[in-house]
Amino acid sequence: MSYPGKSLRCTRAPGYPRENVFEYIRRTPLVKIKDVAKLAGVSVASVSRVLAGLPVVSEPTRLRVLEAVKALEYRPDLAARRLRSRRSDTIGLLVSDIRNSFFTEVSRAVEEVAFARQMSVILCNTDEDPVKEAAYLNLMADEKVCGVILSPSLQLLSHFSPADFSFPVVLVDRFERGIEADAVLLDNHDAAFRLTEHLIANGHRQIVFFYGADSATGRQRLEGHQAAMAGHQLPVQAQGVRPMADQAREAALAVLRRDQTPQAVIASSGLILLGITEALRETSLAVPRDIAVAGFDNMPWTRLMDPGLTVIAQPTYEIGREAIELLLQRISAPDKVTRQLVLRGELVERGSSAPR
């Protein structure tokens, strides 16, 4: 696959001292490339070639330049380098909601791999807002990043094409059939199907499924839930909400205060699960005696509840690590065939979904 910006190459950033970094920055004089050339006894062009890793200088010259760089503690002007060569050592990471623990873990994995490669990460939070999303994608182009890892909004995903960007893009968490792009995903249909089957096997038949109405992931999980319910000829009760704890709480309270309380509820994301849990604390319903609860994302607080919450644990760190590895491969080989890695979630059974 070709990209308009496929000539982008990543460079390795110089190391920085780990101790007294602010004092180091304050006291370090501004060293220019001509100072390095003067100390090494070579031309500025030769220094540029050595720093760029070009094999057109002799080994003695290369060693003199590197010794001068070390002696002067020379740090390249990265902004100027971008303007001259359109090269960057930076990756963009756009997530839909950093408060979601899924994206927190993905971000950590991306940052750790990038740091090990001496690369930087620009993290942006879009709030599922197409306007913010477009602004940040334009920022990525302005910053001439190597590439972007993106959790797209539903609006962008509906017409997504890698050819629209001047940099490679790897999708995480959200994907639609027919898109020719690299992606790392959870098998959302399978995860929701197994979670629903677990509740049905434990005797729960009247289940309300809360899902992110504006999320492709939420809709895919709804489809998995619907398939499981259909297999047992059970009616589907689904409630679309904004994937935010406060809105999920309000929606859950409306359901829980009905004359007929459902036997179980499922949340399609961690923030929705949190909102449902808060709503349950405001009622007299006991879990699992009166109502069973299950959801997505194995956050620390889910096992601290009494009883603990049954969840689908996503391989979040692996998703982030695979995403940046795919991006680095795409940067080095822009025309390679696209890959979609689909990972399986783990069903973690706890007391909240105990048999009726």
- For residue range 208-249, what is the model confidence (pLDDT) as tens digits? 999 998 888 999 999 999 999 999 999 999 999 988 899 999
- pLDDT single digits (tens) 143-177: 889 999 999 988 899 889 888 898 999 999 999 88
Q: Which DSSP category does 302 fall into?
A: H
**What are 120-132's pLDDT values in tens digits?**
999 999 998 899 9
- For residue 163, give the amino acid letter: A
Indicate the pLDDT class of residue 6, thresholds 50, 70 and 90: very low
Domains contained in the chain, CATH given: 21-85 (1.10.260.40), 90-186+316-343 (3.40.50.2300), 188-314+347-353 (3.40.50.2300)
Query: pLDDT per residue over 312-355, tens digit each?
Result: 999 999 999 999 999 999 998 888 999 999 999 999 999 999 99
pLDDT at 64 over 80: yes
- Percentage of residues in the chain having pLDDT higher than 70: 87
* Adjacent-strand bridge partners of 341: 184
Residue 307 is predicted with a pLDDT of 96
**327's tokens:** 């991006």
- For position 123, what pLDDT does the model report? 97
Mean pLDDT (whole number) for 125-143: 92
Sign of the CA dihedral running 333, 160, 312, 243: positive
> Which residue in the block uniquely carries the two structure tokens 């249909």?
189
> Mean pLDDT for the chain?
87
- Dist. CA 174–CA 187, nearest whole Å: 11
- Average pLDDT, stretch 101-128? 93
- Taking a C-beta distance cutoff of 8 angstroms, is the pair 74, 39 a contact? no
343 three-state secondary structure = strand
The answer to whether 86 touches 144, Cβ cutoff 8 Å, is: yes
| Residues of the chain above pLDDT 90, percent | 60
Q: Residue 9 pLDDT more than 70?
A: no
The model's confidence at residue 19, banded by pLDDT at 50, 70 and 90, is very low
- Report the residue count for the chain: 356
128: left (phi over 0), alpha (psi -120 to 50) or beta: left
Residues 273, 251 contacting (CB under 8 angstroms) = no
Give the per-residue pLDDT at 86: 52
Using CA atoms, how far apart are residues 185 and 280, in angstroms rounded to an integer? 31
